[in-house]
Structures are given as C-alpha cells and as structure tokens.
Amino acid sequence: MRLLPGDVLLVVDVQRDFLPGGPLAVPDGDAVTAPINRLGALFDHVLLTQDWHPADHVSFAANHAGRLPFEQIELPYGPQVLWPTHCVQGSDGALFAPGLDLPRAELVVRKGFRPGVDSYSALTEADRRTPTGLAGYLRERGLRRLFLAGLATDFCVAWSAMDAAAAGFEAHVIEDACRAIDMGGSLDRAWQAMGEANVGRLDSHALLGRA
Ligand code: VGL
Ligand code: ZN
C-alpha cells in the first residue's frame, strides 16, 4: 500500500499505565513503540491521543463501592467496563511511553476527561453524542485518510477506527503496531466489527517494506 500526501498516522493511547507493569497493562504493549516510531517518520501528519481521566472518573472500579475491575455496569449511556485506575490527569502513568519518539507529532487529543463519561474513541465519547473535536480538526485541515496504531486494539483503537469510518474518513488499522487487552473474546469481536464497519487492516511492512 502506498502512502499519499496528507495521510495521517493516529497513535492511540501509548501511555505508561498501559505498558507491562502498569495498572492496566496490555500484554506486550511496549512492542508497539518500535514500529510506531518507524511509521512516524514516514507520514505527512502524526497525531496522538492521550487517555486523560480525572481521579473520580466513572470508568474506575475504585469509584464504585463493591465493584471490581473488569466487571461491567450499566450507565445512563449504556454498558461500561470498570477498569483499574489508570491515566489520571497529571500522573506519571498518563505520560506517553518512554520509548515513544514522535518529534513531528502535530496534535495531542486528550479524551475521557469528563468525570461521568468514558471515551474509548478519539472522535466521539461513550455517550455517543459528545464530539472530541477531532473530526472537525481533520475536516478543516482536509485530512481524510487515517492509519491507526497503539493501544488497545480491541478498545480505543477499534472504537476510534470505526467512528472515523462512520464519519466518512478512510480508516486502516496497522495490526502489528497495536496490542490488545483481549478479555472475553473482545479482540475477535473487534476485528469482526471493524470489518463490517469498512475499516482496513494491514501490517506495517506493507507501508515500511521489510527491514
Ligand atoms: C483504553 C480501557 C480504558 C484503551 C483506555 O486505550 O484502549 N482501554 N481506557
Ligand atoms: Zn481509560
């Protein structure tokens, strides 16, 4: 696949709390930084997302008496998985992974900052109505083709890719530059849903050539 002028690399949530040893560790999560750094040098535009929750965030199991991480509850906007406390605003765990090297990054979209609403997606929060502003930013700049990488494949990457496709952008997920949480079959379901949503799936070698 050939990259075109204006193509965007969207790097999703490559933050310390999602790396091995962190409170919401994604298995092998630190393996994404090497391919992402190589990809970052190749794209015209590099944008990042940063999960950025207040300490009293509704997605934290610790904020629900008697609930444990990875349980699911019902919120006014629908089902919500409860997570270990992660990516608290201003904490070291919310910082980008130490190995990430993307000096040309043009934008950081912070998401999940409303106490009562989660946001896996970089475009639309979990209430499915509140925009993050990213779609408007992309449209205003005339950027229409997104390649996604980062953490986690089955949550923030998948939701971002599907929302981008639904909003009229072309979205492709770079599989080997992502890692998944994969709980209860979530990774298979995410790939199925992304396929149905017209999200492309490719390997970084298709863009970088074989090392
Ligand atoms: C994520 C769960 C909670 C992600 C963020 O980046 O995929 N997953 N917050
Ligand atoms: Zn989160």
Q: How many domains does the chain have?
A: 1
> Does residue 65 lie within any of the structural domains?
no
Please say whether the beta carbons of 197 and 160 come within 8 A.
no
Q: Which amino acid is at 59?
A: S
Q: Provide the domain limits for residue 196.
A: 8-51+92-208
87 is catalytic: no
- Residue from 151, 159, 183 to probe ligand 1 pocket by mutation (most atoms less than 8 Å from CB): 151
The SS3 of residue 37 is helix
Can you tell me whether residue 113 is helix, strand or coil? coil
From first to last of the 211 residues of the chain, give the pLDDT tens digit.
899 999 999 999 999 999 999 999 999 999 999 999 999 999 999 999 999 999 999 999 999 999 999 999 999 999 999 999 999 999 999 999 999 999 999 999 999 999 999 999 999 999 999 999 999 999 999 999 999 999 999 999 999 999 999 999 999 999 999 999 999 999 999 999 999 999 999 999 999 986 5
CA distance 84 to 106: 30
Q: Is residue 83 part of a domain?
A: no
72 domain residue, yes or no: no
**Ligand closest to the CA atom of residue 87:** 2
* β-strands 107-111, 8-12 pairing: unpaired
Q: Ligand 2 centre from 136 Cα, in Å?
A: 23
pTM: 0.97
Tokens 């994604």 correspond to what residue? 26
Q: Which residues line ligand 1 (CB under 6 A)?
A: 13, 51, 83, 120, 151-152, 155-156
CATH of the domain at 204: 3.40.50.850
